[in-house]
Amino acid sequence: MSKKIWFGTDGIRGHVGTTPITAEFALRLGHAAGRVLAKSEGGVVVIGKDTRRSGYMLEAALQAGLISAGADVRLLGPMPTPGVAHLTQAIGACAGVVISASHNPHHDNGFKLFSARGEKLGDGDELAIEAALADAPTLVAPERLGRAARMTDADERYLAFVAASVPSGFRLDGLRIVLDCAHGATYKLAPRLFSMLGASVTAIGISPDGLNINRGVGSTEPSALQAEVCNQRADLGIAFDGDGDRVLFVDSEGELLDGDDLLHILAIEWHRSGRLRGPVVGTLMTNMALELKLAGQGIAFSRANVGDRYVHQRLHETAGVLGGEASGHVLCLDRAGTGDAMIAALQVLEALSTSPLGAAQWRCAMPRFPQHTINVRYTAGTRPLELAQVIAARFAAEQSLAGRGRVVLRASGTEPVIRVTVEADDAALVQRIAQTLAAAVSSAA
């Protein structure tokens, strides 16, 4: 398989004003994606975005490129990434595009592409688009140019889909919730959704100005939510990231529940109710405590590479329905075809409503194994993980941790960094082995 130039683990991403996050590249990308994905004259491509100011520029250029290839465009405006995925499938579009850099700051942006099934593109489609990018754009005949229209009912259709992910009688009456929308794509929809279901809602991170997305708020910076939950004496807090595909919870004591905690709650409750199918899928970075907790309940667990697209692939391979990452990507594939933060939040709230344990009790029920990660930079083009001294150091570390923990050495998908992660039941042992391994990698880098 050819090596991809532009597509990374989650679409195309970079700094605004630097290729590939320029109007010129967005125009070319739109044309290439239209040629590959629209497939026929008048094929529809859906475009949504988060609240970054640069989204206006990139949306206009991407739209022009798609139209020049003969594709029709449906503009959604600010819309969570999973909302774009759902609407792409719901209206029978050929593809969907989200203009977003997810949890990154405003000066970054990017493009996430979805297939007609509302799933992230496979490697084959991404390689085909990259091949089309290398060709000179060829404008279709004037009578074959596409057209653009704004989809005025997008919000209502997506909210109805999310609300339908829980039973029709499910209510949140009497529950006091603080929502943190990260000044991002959920800023209008999430407060409406949870209020509609009867919760008493206080919302922060709902005043986007194009520059404040993820700044001091959201799932990557949950301290503001934790403080507000305590200040409001709320029952729960829920944090989303900028594009609405990550979710974290805060319990009534102001303590954080990450994606591993949420998978723990859902896996146990779904197993009890008979809803769980296949193994629960985490990643190489999922805390070992979750794996052991699930094993104790007779629940199979599988690890995929880091990244929600790889969790999604493994779930399909194993006929599973539940997976995710500690960062807050939680996939409930019996309710949505991709990771959807609002749907995941509702599934957790539904599980908590039938559980004898509250969120704080669930958090305490899964003490974490100490985990430490050291990032070691290396010279681009080299392969330090394949060198003998690194292989030997890793083997020695794994021997030391046998039955007590594990080692993960992986190259970053976005920068020349080896991430050295050690996890075990002893914090001092974790630190010592991580430093020894990092030194071995550094000497080889």
CATH of the domain at 412: 3.30.310.50
Tokens of 426: 């002893």
Task: Note whether residue 157 is domain-resident.
Answer: no
Give the position of tokens 């949950």. Answer: 222
Structural element, H or E, at residue 418: strand 417-424
**Full residue range of the structural domain in which residue 294 is found:** 258-364
Show which residues are catalytic.
102
Domain boundary among 254, 285, 319: 254
Q: Are residue 304 and residue 211 in the same domain, yes or no?
A: no
pLDDT of 10 reads: 85
**Do 54 and 137 have their domain in common?**
yes
Say whether both 249 and 269 belong to one domain. no
Measuring CA to CA, how many Å separate 321 from each of 8, 263, 285, 336?
25, 11, 19, 10
Asked if residue 427 and residue 302 are part of one domain, the reply reads: no
**Structural domain includes residue 163:** no
The sign of the torsion formed by the CA atoms of 279, 219, 214, 347 equals positive
**Tokens, residue 352:** 């908590």
Residue 195 placed within a domain? yes
Judge contact between 184 and 213, C-beta under 8 A: yes
SS3 49: strand
pLDDT one-digit tens code per residue, 372-408: 999 999 987 788 899 999 999 999 999 999 888 999 9
Q: Is-contact 43 72, C-beta < 8 A?
A: yes
* Domain membership flag for residue 164: no
- The DSSP code for 143 is G
Out of 254, 282, 307, a domain closes at: 254
Residues 64/57, Cβ–Cβ less than 8 Å: no
**Tally of domains within the chain:** 4
Q: Does residue 167 lie within any of the structural domains?
A: no
CA–CA distances in Å: residue 316 to residues 104, 166, 313: 28, 22, 5
- pLDDT of 271 reads 98
Residues 338 and 430 both lie in one domain: no
Q: Is residue 267 part of a domain?
A: yes
Same-domain status, 30 and 134: yes
Question: In terms of domains, do 125 and 84 share one?
Answer: yes
Residues 296 and 408 placed together within one structural domain of the fold: no
Cut 0.85: pTM above it:
yes
Nearest to 197 by CA among 353, 84, 362, 381: 353
Angle at 231 between CA 225 and CA 237, to 5 degrees: 35
Residue 226 CA, distance from chain mean position: 21
**Residue 212's domain is classified under what CATH number?**
3.40.120.10
CB 213 within 8 A of CB 242: yes
Reported residue count of the chain is 445
**Rg of the chain (C-alpha set):** 22
- Flag whether 5 is in a domain: no
**Same domain, yes or no, for 280 and 239?**
no
Beta strands in 8-140, from DSSP E residues, in sequence order: 12-15, 44-49, 72-78, 95-99, 108-114
Is there a single domain that holds both residue 340 and residue 401? no
For residue range 76-86, what is the model confidence (pLDDT) as tens digits?
Answer: 999 999 999 99
DSSP 3-state of 341: helix
For residue range 319-353, list pLDDT tens digits in order.
999 999 999 999 999 999 999 999 999 999 999 99
Clarify whether residues 342 and 380 are in a common domain. Answer: no
Tell me what pLDDT residue 41 has: 65
At residue 46, φ and ψ (nearest 5 deg) are: -95, 135
Q: Same domain, yes or no, for 322 and 428?
A: no
CA dist., res. 316 & res. 153, Å (int): 31
230 occurs within a structural domain: yes
Confidence label for 415 from pLDDT (cuts 50, 70 and 90): confident
Domain end call among 205, 220, 254: 254
